[in-house]
Structure formats: C-alpha cells, structure tokens
Amino acid sequence: MGAAEFWEERYAGKPKVWSGRVNPGLVEFASGLPAGRALDLGCGEGGDAVWLARQGWQVTAVDISATAVARGHAAAEAAGVPDDRIRWLAQDLAHWQPEGSYDLVSAFFLQSPMELPRGEVLSRAAAAVAPGGHVLVVSHAAPPPWARGHDH
C-alpha cells in the first residue's frame, strides 16, 4: 500500500479524523504576522487553512487525500470563507512543487507511517518562502516507516 492509498483509506474510513480546530502553535506564531500568502503542507481537514483564511491570508492547502481536501473545502464553506481565499489541492507532496512564493509555510505534523521524503518536501517548500517570510514546522517524534510492525 502506498502513501496515497493509506491516507485516503484513513480519511474515508471515518467521518472525521482531526478536530477541525486550528493548531494552537499556529495561532501563537502567526497572530502577529501581517497577512500574505500561506502554504499549508499536509493540510488534512483544513483547520489551519480555514483559520489562516479568516485572518486574511491567501492560502494554498495541500494534502495527499482527496477526502481530506474535500472536507477542508466543506469546512471553509461552513465557516463562511470565500472560495477565492483558499486553493485546495489533492497532491502527493513527495512529487509536488510549490508555485510562486509564500510569506508563511506551515507544516504541522507532516509525518507518515508510509514512506515520505520529508526533507525533500520541506526543502522545496522552504525554497518557495518569500524574502522576510517564515517557515513553521511542528512534529512529533515518530519511528521511521521501516520500523512499522516491529515491537522491539
């Protein structure tokens, strides 16, 4: 099973995977920043993207799961966020290249039990940061994908 199948199965198998709320670390970090263009890597069901858009940001939200992206879009509509504030993309970040430049690149918990070239993904995203922009990466310590199934 590849990463796309894994994440699509995970999202499609439950009515909701995450809370839908913004990550508190993003609120703390971005609240004082002037709104601009933001890139949300691994956006999941869109809690961070919706919050950023409501703060005036123009957001590109990317996730490998089409189900997650559709839920994010629905959450944005329910929150009254205009369609032109968030560009929702179902893309495999392992092969996706950001277009343009961003004032904020956010990657909260961009990790996977499936193989993910995280360093390459973050390097490409960091290269798309505008002068004076910011990169915010938050993650849990996690075993590498090759350790799955080992109990020692």
What is the mean pLDDT of the segment spanning 18-40? 91
Q: Which stretch of 13-17, 30-34, 41-45, 146-150 has the lowest confidence by average pLDDT? A: 146-150
pLDDT of amino acid 46: 94
Q: Is 112 exposed, middle or buried (0-12, 13-18, 19+ CB in 10 A)?
A: middle
User: Is residue 34 a part of any domain in this protein?
Assistant: yes
The answer to the question of residue 96 being in a domain is yes
Q: Tell me, yes or no, whether 78 lies in a domain.
A: yes
Does 81 reside within a domain?
yes
Q: How many domains does the chain have?
A: 1
Question: 86 Cβ partners below 8 Å, 6+ apart?
Answer: 46, 49, 50, 53, 59, 60, 61, 72, 73, 76
Decide if 147 is inside a domain. no
Q: How many residues are listed for the chain in this entry?
A: 152
Domain membership flag for residue 152: no
Question: Per the domain annotation, does 146 fall within a domain?
Answer: no
Question: What is this structure's pTM?
Answer: 0.85
- Domain residues for the domain of 88 are 3-13+22-141
CATH number assigned to the domain comprising residue 35: 3.40.50.150
Percent of the chain residues topping a pLDDT of 70: 84
- Quick: pLDDT tens for 96-139: 899 999 999 998 877 656 666 778 888 899 999 999 999 988 87
Is residue 103 included in any domain, yes or no?
yes
Question: What are 88's strand-pairing partners?
Answer: 61
